[in-house]
Copies of this chain bind each other. A is one copy, B any other.
């Protein structure tokens, strides 16, 4: 795979005129360029702005040209997802304690995907075979669990449980601050209303809930270390 950046792709037709029909002497598109352009588009316009037409425009090709490199829009989302996974911090596995490594990884993972929640429905059903960076992350995490004394046959379940919590929590970050404000329904729901009113603390509510759940998972799952399956 040649290292063609979106920038190069963007300025491939260095001149002014448009490309005429027919196969160009050198391919103007490749997966790496499509990925970079998609990421750039998302950062500027959000996921609503990520359409095949807009992506093609950014790359200065016709929309149909994209289908020589990806089979569908979902394929584009998978390329983006796999790139983002490479940004997740797994460095603490192997250098810190298991608890600290899971903490660092989980917070980083949540932060990355909180900015990209529209990918979550895609990730959840994504076979890892199609996502090499994602697979690499699982490899590092699995080794960290194994080295910490985690029973091998429970590792996948533990990772899935943590990931489920992480993805669900990523949505919370995007929720409006007053999502739990009962408004006119307060009188009919007194216990919940009191709980909401008393729950104000320092920091973002999404961070408080994530920290609470993550520490519970770390201590609960951590208890499995050194046990047989």
Contacts and interface: CB of A to CB of B under 8 A. Distances in A.
B199 A129 contact: no
A168 B82 CA distance: 19
A150 to B, nearest CB: 9
Query: Chain A binding site: helix, strand, loop or mixed by DSSP?
Result: helix
Contacts of A156: 180, 195-196, 199, 205, 209
A199 B145 CA distance: 14
A112 to B, nearest CB: 15
A181 interface: yes
A170 to B, nearest CB: 8
B220 A138 contact: no
Contact of A161 (B126, B142, B182, B212): B212
14 contacts: A117-B121, A127-B178, A127-B179, A141-B192, A143-B192, A152-B199, A156-B205, A164-B209, A164-B210, A164-B213, A165-B168, A167-B167, A216-B216, A216-B220
Given A120-B121, A135-B185, 5 more contacts: A135-B182, A152-B195, A153-B198, A158-B213, A217-B217
